[in-house]
Chain A
């Protein structure tokens, strides 16, 4: 592997400006790494070499003309394969979209291209972003770069594994219940879910529209902050996007956090934590104390209901969003249907995988006549109470911390036959989506087998700068972020 791939995006940008390496060389180095490694890792569904090299050439022309480069220009990035990039296959890792070619760019793709960020490929995911282990991809499993027998986490497992293994320096994922933060934690990198509405979702294949949000993966907090700046902003094409100015998210990274009030979520510190995660959390609390923060214990009494609430609301929304896959306008169609109804039912039966069908079934049930009030409406009411818990908590503290997951990455296959046990993996992450608040996972050490542990940090809506500040200070108090998977 070319050593330059191990550098952060900030360092790679510097190397490009100082002409230590050209953008085409850097992009080609990433492709060499992918070709050497990805057969074992499975992080990419497809590569977008032509687009990436064209972008890299533009960067080199700008450098040759002495022009100023846009933020993150020339830094190789992996795009989760549920975001449209014109001319590329966008499959959502589903058989139903196996041959779908994007006729347009998602807004995030447009912004990356404008900033001359080479998009090297489309990253594998759980089918339609539904899963916590990336084992639900219809094409292939993603393996964890730290141990190939373990899952990378999901649903943005390909995005996380590609950054963790230095196939890419940056990646985008989508987070509906933890799908950025969980794989970031399992793969030992930084993953961030912004405030709901901060990043346009135009061109993202919808899963659960009241929860979905696109966000960055990187190996440092600074890189994640810069990537968020590139992709944020109001978009008339997404009516849920916030019409607020984009901030310079890296601005306050080094700000002193003396006196910052850090809330430790009581409910996530006791039950079911593995010993090593427990120790890592105690160490994180000590680190924050040393940095001058004030530690406060915070209780979120309704948090324990969040998984139940989520699996009603998210599945209800997905049953509606996935109704569009009917074999008419795009995607797979069953070859031998006798009539229209049979075409629908067979197309969907053959095109969707087991987890997607399970969620469509659950969501349809929750919305069906006679059960709507007991499940859907009840879950919406409970969502209000979970959100209220956060509003109360943030009256007392600036940020909240917890483990991103009670355990480290589990073995491939360990939970795939028991959906409920898989769902419980998301206990720490899901509530942030219910409340629409920003959250991130930062490397916080390793367990006895050398698998990464993640610290989750949550902040009030639109307090991204504070979130990055608290995360950067913690990151730099340790050297976990400098340790790379030996692969």
Chain B
């Protein structure tokens, strides 16, 4: 069973600030979904290799070549705050 404490822990990992109402709601809703998901345990998968992709790609390589598709200004045009060509953020503490 997923508890409010689990939800608070996961929210911290996911960098999401939740209100008390959201915590309660997600505890119930995630619990419902996980209960449904638990159906999977009816099936024995001890000898099944986990499937990570649908097409068997192996190390897709390309030449390590520098290209300039976009300028620095174009790339940074959407940034909330920029100073002297750097992304600016609030102080760490």
* A140 smallest CB distance to B (angstroms): 23
A303 to chain B, nearest CB (A): 12
Question: Which residues from chain A contact B34 at a C-beta distance below 8 Å?
Answer: 362, 365, 375
Q: Which of B13, B40, B75 contacts A379 (CB 8 A)?
A: B40
The distance in angstroms between the C-alpha atoms of A312 and B92, with both chains bound, is 33
A343 touches B54 (CB 8 A): no
A423 CB–B CB distance under 8 Å: yes
Interface of B is mostly: loop
Instruction: Indicate if the CB atoms of B36 and A368 lie closer than 8 Å.
Output: no
CB of A327 within 8 A of CB of B40, answer no
Partner of A380, one of B52, B87, B90: B52
- For the complex, give the distance between the alpha carbons of A434 and B40 in Å: 15
**Quick check: B62 and A339 within 8 Å, CB to CB?**
no
B93 at the interface (CB under 8 A from A): yes
Query: Is residue B5 contacting chain A, with contact meaning CB distance below 8 A?
Result: no
Which B33-54 residues sit within 8 Å CB-CB of chain A? 33-34, 36-41, 43, 45, 48-54
Residues of B within 8 A of A330 (CB): 78-80
Q: Which residue of B lies closest to A315 (CB)?
A: B33
What are the interface flags for A306-319 relative to B under an 8 Å C-beta threshold, 1 for contact and 0 otherwise? 01110110000001
CA distance A239 to B34 in the complex (A): 33
Interface set, chain A 87-113, CB cutoff 8 A to B: 99-101, 103-104
| Complex CA–CA separation, A440 to B57 (angstroms) | 25
Pairwise interchain contact A329-B33, C-beta atoms closer than 8 A = no
Interface contacts (Cβ under 8 Å), in number, total 168
Cβ of A368 and Cβ of B10 under 8 Å apart? yes
B60 touches A361 (CB 8 A): no
**Hey, which chain A residues are within 8 Å of B53, CB to CB?**
210, 240
Chain A nearest CB: distance from B43 CB in Å? Answer: 7
- Chain A residue numbers with a CB within 8 Å of B54 are 196-197, 210, 387, 434-436, 461
- Establish whether residues A239 and B60, one from each chain, have CB atoms under 8 Å apart when the complex forms: yes
Q: Are A362 and B30 in contact (CB under 8 A)?
A: yes
A337 → chain B closest CB, angstroms: 5
Closest 3 CB pairs of A and B: A436-B54, A380-B50, A330-B78
A contacts, CB < 8 Å to B: 99-101, 103-104, 196-197, 210, 236, 239-240, 242, 302, 304-305, 307-309, 311-312, 319, 323, 326-333, 337-346, 348-349, 352, 354, 357-358, 360-362, 364-365, 368, 375, 377-385, 387, 419-420, 423, 434-436, 461
B residues with CB within 8 A of A: 2, 6-7, 9-11, 13-18, 22, 26, 29-30, 32-34, 36-41, 43, 45, 48-55, 57, 60, 62, 69-70, 74-81, 87, 89-93
